[in-house]
Homo-oligomer: A and B are copies of this chain.
Amino acid sequence: MASSSYSNPPCAACKCLRRKCMPDCIFAPYFPPEEPQKFINVHKIFGASNVSKLLNDVSPHQREDAVNSLAYEAEARMKDPVYGCVGAISVLQRQVMRLQKELDATNADIIRYAYNEMPQPPQP
């Protein structure tokens, strides 16, 4: 006969924290057992208690987004302990500035073309 003691496997958070995963576990919906690294990362960078506090502070429909952004930040911080995802922000900010400069220059060229004033090479 099948055993009657079957229970769902604990979520990745409760497994990592070695505690019983209760039906109202705040982590369970966002840290499934098949993705253990996701919790390990946020636990290492933010701490389980801070993650739990943050989840309780945001409304239930925003918790999945909150967990995903925490997981993204944690992974970035583990890959780059000095800059974390702030490094990505700096790269993107430089990219925006470069593109904006290029676009301004190209728009200035268009105006020259429109007035039939082709850009001249610099005079010696």
Q: How far is the CA of A73 from the CA of B70 in the complex (A)?
A: 11
**CB atoms of A106 and B96 under 8 A apart:** no
Tell me if A57 counts as interface (CB < 8 A to partner B). Answer: yes
Complex Cα distance, B84 from A54, in Å, reads 11
- Is A17 located at the chain interface by the 8 A CB criterion? no
Q: How far is the CA of A88 from the CA of B82 in the complex (A)?
A: 19
Expressed in whole angstroms, the Cα–Cα distance for A66 and B89 within the complex equals 14
**A93→B96 CA distance, assembly (Å):** 9
Nearest CB on B from A82, distance (A) = 5
B-contact bits for A60-98, CB 8 A (1 contact / 0 none): 001001100110110001000111111111001101100
Question: What's the Cα separation between A57 and B80 when bound, in Å?
Answer: 11
Q: Which residue of B lies closest to A99 (CB)?
A: B99
CB atoms of A58 and B82 under 8 A apart: yes
Question: From residue A1, how far is it (CB to closest CB) to chain B in Å?
Answer: 48
Interface residues of chain A, those whose CB is within 8 Å of chain B, are 44-47, 49-50, 54, 57-58, 62, 65-66, 69-70, 72-73, 77, 81-89, 92-93, 95-96, 99-100, 102-103, 106-107, 109-110, 113-114
